[in-house]
């Protein structure tokens, strides 16, 4: 029997529990099938023995994978994992929680039995140690060549594992896009998944849940969060792709719609959103997203209403706000420096003038520029 001691503390990732650890095994199994569609994964639970079994049809584990950083996924965007640490960390957590773990590595005719052992090398500290039996006792390799068995999983823990794994759920409401799926069930609102595996909650994501495709976002090492900008950016792209009126309306008022591009919203829907806005706030209401615009519109006799930038742009681009757009254009034109406006005019008429007239025109512009500079001083 060979023994492999990992240089990792038994207290690593203290915030992880059983659900997070099993997620890592499940993730590896999904990734193996993603890499090779014939390498089918399986998963079962025996409530009588309180044992979970996870595996693949023809996977195997090389002993080198016990080294941290050894991975075949770091250049594959379709993989959920990419750091080469997942199953080692998961094993440490499960052992710390008093679970039993056995790797039936049939392809290599090995059984791996990890345990927490007091290490002489590290002064008696408990460290995860893998004991590898080099000769298997079975005569025939079963249907699945790699099976991980985890014992001590209570029915309550198993239910939590199911709740955090869309692959184990049937009939959950979702709408697919090229970036992933929008989740519509009430229990999934505000929840973020990657590749069907629960990652974290985002309280500001009140109207939907999201299951990102692994290629869209990259996870941190502890799998505890996704970059908040990524959530907002790709949620907006998913809403745009669906082109569903009610979803767009809700998103424009929420965290998921911050980065919706107004040009992606059909003109008919822009008019509908603008009409809803007028019905709610009155005929003189105008959407604004900052204090400066609010003050300007008050002076012009309008009733400014603070909304998100995305919603403001959608409403102002509707047919119902053509007059406001025209006024805003005139206001911007008035605010432009006189010199800039004359330069634009000069460029338009230059080819119609005699050479001497062009010279006179640009001499005038030089004088005007000097006057503008003195005015600013």
- Are 8 and 80 in the same domain? yes
Residue-number span of the structural domain to which 299 is assigned: 271-335
- Are 188 and 324 in the same domain? no
Q: What is the mean pLDDT of residues 160-181?
A: 93
- Are 154 and 276 in the same domain? no
- CA-nearest of 190, 320, 177 to 244 is 177
Q: Does 323 score more than 90 pLDDT?
A: no
- Token look-up 């059984």 returns 111
Q: Does 122 score more than 60 pLDDT?
A: yes
Single residue among 223, 257, 291 that ends a domain in this structure: 257
The larger pLDDT score, comparing residue 342 to residue 172, is at 172
Q: Are the beta carbons of 40 and 57 closer than 8 angstroms?
A: yes
pLDDT tens-digit map of 14-43: 989 999 999 999 988 988 888 888 999 989
- Are 218 and 207 in the same domain? yes
DSSP type of residue 224: -
Single residue among 164, 198, 224 that ends a domain in this structure: 164
Instruction: Give a yes or no: residue 231 inside a domain.
Output: yes
Instruction: Give a yes or no: residue 247 inside a domain.
Output: yes
Instruction: Give a yes or no: residue 263 inside a domain.
Output: no
Angle at 284 between CA 278 and CA 290, to 5 degrees: 90
- Are 107 and 181 in the same domain? no
- Are 29 and 136 in the same domain? yes
Beta bridge partners of 46: 51
Q: Does 61 score more than 90 pLDDT?
A: no
pLDDT band, very low/low/confident/very high, at 77 (cuts 50, 70, 90): very low
The larger pLDDT score, comparing residue 34 to residue 327, is at 34
Total domains, the chain: 4
CATH of the domain at 155: 3.30.565
Judged by DSSP in three states, 187 sits in helix
Q: Are the beta carbons of 264 and 275 closer than 8 angstroms?
A: no
């Amino acid at each position: 029997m060979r023994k492999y001691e990992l240089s990792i503390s038994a207290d690593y990732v203290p915030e992880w529990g059983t659900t997070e650890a099993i997620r890592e095994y499940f993730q590896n199994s999904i990734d193996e099938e993603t890499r090779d569609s014939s390498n089918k994964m399986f998963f079962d639970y025996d409530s009588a023995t309180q044992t979970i079994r996870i595996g693949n049809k023809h996977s195997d584990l090389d002993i080198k994978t016990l080294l941290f950083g050894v991975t075949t996924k770091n250049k594959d965007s379709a993989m959920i994992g990419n750091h080469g640490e997942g199953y080692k960390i998961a094993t440490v957590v499960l052992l710390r929680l008093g679970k039993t773990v056995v790797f039936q590595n049939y392809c290599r005719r090995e059984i791996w039995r990890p345990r927490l052992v007091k290490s002489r090398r590290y002064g008696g500290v408990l460290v995860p140690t893998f004991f590898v039996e080099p000769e298997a006792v079975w005569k025939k390799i079963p249907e699945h060549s790699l099976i991980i068995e985890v014992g001590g999983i209570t029915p309550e823990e198993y239910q939590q594992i199911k709740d955090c794994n869309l692959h184990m759920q049937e009939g959950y409401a979702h709408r697919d896009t090229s970036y992933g799926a929008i989740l519509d069930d009430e229990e999934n609102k505000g929840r973020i998944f990657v590749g069907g595996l629960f990652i974290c909650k985002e309280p500001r994501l009140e109207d939907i849940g999201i299951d990102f495709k692994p290629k869209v976002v990259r996870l941190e090492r502890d799998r505890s969060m996704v970059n908040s900008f990524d959530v907002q950016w790709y949620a907006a792209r998913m809403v745009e792709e669906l082109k569903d009126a009610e979803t767009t309306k809700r998103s424009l008022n929420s965290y998921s719609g911050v980065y919706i591009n107004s040009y992606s919203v059909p003109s008919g829907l822009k008019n509908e959103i603008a009409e809803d806005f007028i019905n709610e706030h009155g005929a003189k209401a105008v959407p604004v997203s900052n204090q400066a615009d609010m003050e300007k519109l008050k002076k012009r006799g309008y009733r400014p209403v603070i909304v998100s930038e995305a919603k403001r742009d959608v409403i102002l681009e509707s047919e119902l706000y053509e007059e406001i757009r025209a006024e805003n254009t005139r206001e911007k034109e008035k605010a432009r420096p006189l010199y800039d406006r004359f330069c634009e005019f000069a460029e338009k008429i230059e080819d119609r003038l005699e050479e001497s007239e062009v010279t006179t025109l640009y001499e005038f512009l030089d004088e005007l520029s000097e006057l503008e500079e003195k005015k600013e001083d």
